[in-house]
Amino acid sequence: MEPVLAPDRASEQIDPTAFKAVLGRFCSGVTVITAIHEGEPVGFACQSFASLSIDPPLVSFFPARTSSTWPRIRAAGRFCVNILADDQSELCRQLGRPGADKFSGVEWTVSGNGSPLLGGAMATIDCTLHDEVDGGDHTIVIARVSGLNEHSEAAPLLFYRAAFGRLAHQ
Ligand SMILES: Cc1cc2nc3c(=O)[nH]c(=O)nc-3n(C[C@H](O)[C@H](O)[C@H](O)COP(=O)(O)O)c2cc1C
């Protein structure tokens, strides 16, 4: 297979389509990050989530600069990372597109820090905002973990090459 990109190209010559095609080969799970803002649930689907540090306990994720939801979660200052199970692709789609009715029909309860805990999530991580760093057209959020919950032994929802998937042996 021909290489999509020469390794010595300057970053300004990187074609965004090639960038997405190549980086899309990095398979991940999917989360929905939720908070309460002015009494209403807010949230967005987020693939760019990672464990960052055990001591202190930190996680990280990358909201787009264009996100209308992240500023509201930032204002809340505390939020919940919901790790989705493999039967939650529709929920992920609903919370992965802009719109005022993202939580329409969504079952949720309240997590330990008062954020929406989505029904069916396999695990949840309560966090507070620790730091925010420039990440180009995204922002790098560093969050301090304040609570951890395992909810089920369900298999994870996967995201790979712009499509949902599940573990082959499940
Ligand atoms: C599977 C999936 C993964 C996503 N991952 C991210 C992400 O890592 N960062 C991000 O900013 N948006 C991500 N999105 C898109 C946001 O969820 C979407 O842009 C957002 O919900 C738009 O609404 P907003 O303007 O209310 O934030 C993802 C969407 C889907 C469906």
Residue-wise pLDDT for 34-91, tens only, equals 999 999 999 999 999 999 999 999 999 999 999 999 999 999 999 999 999 999 999 9
For 119-155, the pLDDT digits (tens) are 999 999 999 999 999 999 999 999 999 999 999 999 9
Prediction pTM value: 0.93
Flag whether pLDDT at 10 surpasses 80. Answer: no
* C-alpha torsion sign, points 43, 49, 52, 54: positive
Flag whether pLDDT at 5 surpasses 60. Answer: no
Cβ–Cβ < 8 Å for 121, 84 = yes
Closest ligand 1 atom to 66 CA: 25
Distance 47 CA to ligand 1 centre (A): 8
pLDDT at 8: 57
Q: How confident is the model at residue 99 (pLDDT cuts 50, 70, 90)?
A: confident
Q: Which residue, judged by its Cα, is nearest atom 4 of ligand 1?
A: 46
Cβ–Cβ < 8 Å for 33, 72 = no
Which residue in 128, 157, 134, 153 sits closest to 32, CA to CA? 157
CA 109, CA 119: separation in Å to the nearest integer? 7
Distance 10 CA to ligand 1 centre (A): 28
Report the pocket of ligand 1 as residue ranges, CB < 6 Å: 30, 44-48, 62-64, 67-69, 92-93, 96-98, 159
